[in-house]
Structure 1
């Protein structure tokens, strides 16, 4: 049976994932996490018994710093990550400003922002502590990702507009073409 500890163990044993996490850690960002597909895809690939890692459209590094919410700062951080590991599609976003883009109340932390991602299976994040121990956050739990279920987060269920955006996102992502055992829920 899968547990958070088992997920952490799979991540820790994946040299490439640990290299990516250590690159993000080297930026010394406040409240930083690598989230979304980076975590979800590892779990789904493993549950589908894939020998090869599925491709990432991006590696989402998030952090929370209300003292500097300039987009230019995020671009500089992406450049730093590209200098460490050049061939990855890095995406760095300060969650202290993302509420403006997402048209919602300000987030209180990166975990608060993750809890408001569209899908429960994507509302996941990883970080490293001072001893490089992997820390997993799953504000909506891990059951859906482990049961290969794609459902809207409570935040997205609470709005017709957000549910429309959720459905469009699910349609565009076409995850069921990559992971054919998924059960995708499109109703609220």
Structure 2
């Protein structure tokens, strides 16, 4: 529990992320999280004593809605979130993780089995440190999903999670991250 308390305290430094968490509660998306880059990069910025939101490319809002796998349903959510967040100086990238298997192979060259949950999708992110999701419950408490713990995240270790993502995706992310956080310890693809 202490690790999650620490994560909450660190993420609270990013006022944009906290505001997005508050707003996301109102979207009523099933099984939603802010995940991956915005969480990881906030932690690394705080550990490096930088502005918590510095250099964060986008904020990934993921959810799982298998009731309608059509693009139109996901696009409606994307447009709703964009309109509700257009006053913020960031891009919110919204993805229905129930649809990933429909486009993943065309984009990355590998088939992707359908994800049964948002958590299963987070578990498949390309690096262990990025397998973290956070949401704010209606009662204001923070909920985390971090199946591999937080050791790599707080240790600034970038370790491959070769379950699904291709090597090229992992290496490109790691290279980009190293330009912003040079003290990262990047482990090679196995």
TM range (shorter): 0.7 to 0.9
**Which secondary structure does the structure 2 equivalent of 1:117 belong to?**
coil
- The equivalent position to 2:95 in structure 1, one of 93, 96, 105, is 93
* TM-score using structure 2 length: 0.86
Give the Cα–Cα distance (whole angstroms) in 1 for the partners of residues 125 and 52 of structure 2. Answer: 26
Distance in 2, Cα, partners of 1:99 & 1:119:
19
* Structure 1 segments of 4+ aligned residues over 6 angstroms from their partners: none
Match of residue 167, structure 1, among 160, 167, 171:
171
What's the secondary structure of 2:143's corresponding residue? strand
- Give the 5 Å matches for 1:53-132: 53-86=53-86, 87-102=89-104, 103-132=111-140
Tell me if the contact between 1:97 and 1:106 (Cα under 8 Å) persists in the aligned partners: yes
Q: 1:12–1:134: 8 Å Cα contact kept in structure 2? A: no
2:150 corresponds to which residue? 142
**Structure 1's 116 and 14: CA in aligned 2 closer, same or farther, altered over 3 A?**
same
Stretch of structure 1 that moved more, 53-62 or 144-153:
53-62
Using the size of structure 1 for normalisation, the TM-score is: 0.87
Aligned twin of 1:186:
188
Q: Which runs of 5 or more residues in structure 1 are unaligned?
A: none
> Following TM superposition, by how much is the alpha carbon of 1:170 offset from its aligned partner in structure 2, in angstroms?
2.9
Classify the secondary structure of the residue corresponding to 1:175.
helix
- In 2, Cα distance between the equivalents of 1:178 and 1:145? 15
Deviation at 1:52, TM superposition (A): 5.4
CA distance in 2, matches of 1:35, 1:52: 15
DSSP 3-state at the match of 2:135: strand
Aligned length: 181
Report the counterpart of residue 108 of structure 2 in structure 1: none
RMSD: 2.0
Is the alpha carbon distance of 1:37 and 1:105 closer, same or farther for their aligned partners in structure 2, counting shifts above 3 Å? Answer: same
Give me the whole-angstrom Cα distance separating, in 2, the residues matched to 1:96 and 1:185: 30
Task: Answer whether contact 1:32 1:61 (CA < 8 A) is retained.
Answer: yes
In the TM superposition, what is the alpha-carbon distance from 1:154 to its structure 2 partner? Answer: 4.9
Distance in 1 of aligned mates of 2:91 and 2:161: 26
